[in-house]
Amino acid sequence: MITLPTGGYGTSAPEADDQLKWFEAGSELEASAHWGDWFQIKSGTAEAVWINPSLSLYKRPLGTVASDEMLHFNEKTAVYTYPSPESVVHPKGYYAPQDVQSIAKWSGDGMLDWYLFHGSDGDLWVPEPRNDTDKSLVGSWRLIQSQQDETAGDSQVAPLEVTLLKYSQRHSFYQDEGIPFTLQVRNISDQTLTVSPNKFELQIFKLNGKPEEALNHLEKNELVWTRKLPPLSAAFPAGTSSQSIFIEWEQQNMDGIPAVPGEYALRMVPTSIRLEMGEAKESQVIEEEAVQKMLGDPVVFGVIEGNEGN
């Protein structure tokens, strides 16, 4: 039985986006075939449709509620396929000033509201920061089930692997750019894992001096930004499944002042992770020290003077 906790669209084929039929939140559906993460469902007519439960949950995360608030679009409005900053579909400058009515709302981390609306090319999301001092974008967690032969870490050390990366090959960014990062938590064991609710926290420091020296005493550098992410509380299927979240720092400190040029470092605040393993639900705790060892050194990046278009 396939469940859609927040609803979802059926499509004509896997990977298609034609949104043939809407299934209400809480729908329980019987599959007649599957392909990867996609399942074929009888839609109540002669025509069968395909759904992807994990993708549907990414499209409308847990906690999504109905909304009829009016949204005010202008030249600074960008919209997204999912409530997540890596999924931009129409960048800033695409929309003329206009008012649009929302149909749903998701508030993941308490600092940012995402609104869903009916667009000419499907249902899309627009972010609305709750205050002007932190306009950074934080998305929702997404479950991805990888191939069994994907390279994994040593599950004898810990059943989970945690990585924090800059979501770009560039080292430096102009002052008017959002800087993308991603945090991934991956099951590298051969058992299903259930993670207890955990709010990871990120911090960005302005480095004083050379990075290789400043990183030795990170707390002595200036803390310019911190943010708690939406809680991760999920079951990870066996076979290198992962949950990923994307973050885009808008280069503002906690008072809303733009970042100055220089070298910076992003880290996840050390924390332990509690989980249950397998059908027996064996409890296990991955201690802070082990999590920190997985993460390695903070992510170092640069801010340079000027604008992207110049």
> Is the predicted pLDDT of residue 307 greater than 80, yes or no?
no
Mark 99-118 as b/e (b = at least 16 C-beta within 10 Å). ebebebbbbbbebbbbbbbe
Residue 76 DSSP symbol: T
What pLDDT score does 149 carry?
A: 46
Q: Summarize the confidence of residues 17-34 as an average pLDDT.
A: 89
Residues 118-135 have pLDDT tens digits of 998 889 999 999 988 999
Side by side, the strands of the sheet bearing 193-195 are 235-236, 193-195, 273-277, 282-286
> Is the predicted pLDDT of residue 148 greater than 70, yes or no?
no
> Which one has a higher pLDDT value, 152 or 84?
84
Tally of CB atoms within 10 A around 89: 15
What pLDDT score does 118 carry?
A: 94
2-59: CATH topology is SH3 type barrels. (2.30.30)
**Stretch (H or E) spanning 289:** helix 288-295
Tokens of 81: 């396929």
Residue 215 DSSP symbol: G
To the nearest whole number, what is the mean pLDDT of the chain?
A: 91
Domain chopping of the chain, boundaries: 2-59, 65-129, 137-304
> Is the predicted pLDDT of residue 215 greater than 50, yes or no?
yes
Give the rounded percent of residues in the chain with a pLDDT score beyond 70. 94
Helix and strand numbers, DSSP H then E, in the chain: 3, 28
CB–CB of 142/84 below 8 Å? yes
Reported as a pLDDT band with limits 50, 70 and 90, residue 284 is very high
Q: Is 145 exposed, middle or buried (0-12, 13-18, 19+ CB in 10 A)?
A: middle
Task: Give the list of residues 6+ apart from residue 31 with CB closer than 8 angstroms, or none.
Answer: 2, 39, 40, 41
- Mean pLDDT is lowest, of 9-23, 32-46, 212-226, 240-254, for 32-46
What pLDDT score does 145 carry?
A: 76
Reported as a pLDDT band with limits 50, 70 and 90, residue 275 is very high
Q: In one letter, which amino acid is 203?
A: Q
Instruction: Identify which of 175, 185, 183 has the alpha carbon closest to the alpha carbon of residue 301.
Output: 175
How many degrees, rounded to 5, is the angle at CA 85 between CA 291 and CA 169?
65
What pLDDT score does 229 carry?
A: 95
> Which one has a higher pLDDT value, 198 or 273?
273
Tally of CB atoms within 10 A around 140: 26
> Which one has a higher pLDDT value, 196 or 308?
196
Dihedral through CA 227, CA 232, CA 238, CA 239, nearest 10?
A: -20
What pLDDT score does 155 carry?
A: 53
* Tally of residues, the chain: 310
**The whole model's pTM is what?**
0.90
